[in-house]
Amino acid sequence: MSLTRRGFTQALAAGSVLGAARRPNIVMIYADDLGYGDLGCYGHPTIRTPNLDRMAREGMRFTQWYSAAPVCTPSRAALLTGRYPVRSGLTRVLFPDSPGGIPTSEVTIAQTLKSAGYRTAMVGKWHLGCLPEYLPLRHGFDTYFGLPYSNDMRPLAGPGSGGNPKHPPLPLIRGDKAIETNPDQSQLTIRYTEEALKTINGPKDRPFFLYLAHTFPHVPLYASERFRGKSARGLYGDVVEELDWSTGEVLKALKQSGQDSNTLVVFSSDNGPWLPRLENGGSAGLLREGKGTTWDGGMREPCLARWPGTIPAASVSAAQGNMMDWFPTFARAAGAPLPAGVTLDGEDMTGVLTGKDQGKERVFYYWHQDDLRAVRKGPWKLHTTTNETATQPVRTTKLDKPALYNLEVDPSEKYDVSGKHPDVVRELAGLLESHLAGIRRGEPQK
C-alpha cells in the first residue's frame, strides 16, 4: 500500500479537520476479558483504577461501546480490520496448532497508518495466527514484542494450573522469533509497559501508532510483587490495578515527552469477563452474562478515549459504537485514506469524539463464531434465541424463540417485550436476513 504525493497531501489536509497542528500519535490499549463493570469509573466498588478514572475525567467515557465478538481472535480481527470477523474468516479462537491466521488479503489499520508515514508498534497478545506469515511484522507493524496467543495455551504446569498437554511451551516473541519460552507471567505487564514506553520515547520525526494488547485479565492470572495481594478484590483486582498502573505510565510518558496534547489514547477490552470461574473472572456490572455469549455482558465493553484539546474533558457519551469504528476514526485522525476496494463495517466517530454530534442510530449485529445471534437498532435488541449462557453457548441462528429487549430501559436484558412490539420484531428479523444476504455478497452493513 503506497500513497502518491498528491494523495498524501490530500490525506494531511483531511486530518486537519480535527484541529491538530500535527498528525496525532495513536495509542490503542486493549485488555483481555475485562468486564464492563471492572473499573472504578464504571462503578466497581473495590477495584482501584485511579489512572483510568483520571483518563475518563480528562477525556470521554463511552457507555454503549461494543466488541464485534465475545471471544479473543475474532474480536481482535475486527478491531484491526474494521470488519465483521465473518468477512475475514477469523470467526473462531485460534490455538497453537491452528494452521491458519489473518489472511494477507486483509488490510489492517497498522498497514493503513504505516502507508501514511506512521511508525507502527505492537506489544502484547496478538492471537491472529502464530505461524511466521501471520505475525504482526507481516501485517503492518514495524516491531512486535509479546505472546502470539492466550496465556493459558501452554503445557500443563500442575494440578489446577490450566494448560493442555498437547500445547508447546508458551513463546515470547520479539519480531518474528521466540526469545523465551514459558516466561514469568507475573512480569508480563511490566515488560509490556517497558516496551510501550520505548515506542513513545522513540524518534520524533514522524507520528507513531502503538497497539498495546495486554495478556490480562485473561486466566491464569498473575500480578507482580508490587501489586500481588494489594486489592480488596483479590488476585483479579491485583491484576486490573496493575493494568491501571501501566496505563498511568503510558500517560506519564506522553506528558514527559511533550506529546500529551498530540496523542489520541483509547482504552478498551476484547470481550466481556470470564464468568464461570467466578473468583478469577470479572464483572459485567449491570449487564447480562459474559464472555462467550452475545448478551451485552459478553460484548459491551468499557471504553475510554483521551486527546487533550480535541476530546472534551469529563464527557460521557451514550453514542453506540463498536471496535470496528476505530479503523476509519484512526485513519481520519491520521489523514490516511481508507483502503480502496475494501468493505469496512466501522464508521468514523470523529464527530462524537470531538463533541460536535451525539451519534446516530446504529445497526449492530452480534456474531458468535459463524452464528448470527442478535441485532440491535437504536434501543431495540432482538435475540434469535434465549438459550445461551457463558457455559453452554448455542449453535444456531434459527429464529426459534425470538426475544426483544429495549436496552435503553432494560440494559440487563431481563424483560422480553417481543409480544408487545411485533412490528419491531418483524423489522429486526428482516435486518438479520438482509445482513446475512449482504455478508454473502460482500456488502457493508446497512
How close are the terminal C-alpha atoms of the chain, in Å? Answer: 28
**CA dist list (Å): 120 to 115, 196, 230, 253, 298:** 10, 11, 35, 17, 30
Helices 5-15/326-334 angle, 10° precision = 100
Edge-first strand order for the sheet with 403-406 is: 363-368, 371-377, 380-383, 403-406
Burial level of 139, CB count in 10 A (0-12/13-18/19+)?
buried
Instruction: Name the catalytic one among 72, 139, 214, 383.
Output: 72
Q: What sign results for the dihedral spanned by CA atoms 223, 225, 229, 233?
A: negative
- Say which DSSP state 335 is in: T
Helices 72-81/326-334 angle, 10° precision = 30
Report d(CA 120, CA 196) in Å as an integer.
11
Query: Is 72 marked active-site?
Result: yes
Query: Is 127 marked active-site?
Result: yes
Task: Identify whether the C-beta of residue 31 lies closer than 8 Å to the C-beta of residue 268.
Answer: yes
Instruction: Name the catalytic one among 44, 127, 218, 435.
Output: 127
Give me the phi and psi of 235, to 5 degrees please. -60, -40
Residues 6 or more apart whose CB falls under 8 angstroms from that of 130 comprise 94, 96, 98, 101, 148, 149, 171
Just list the catalytic residues.
Answer: 72, 127
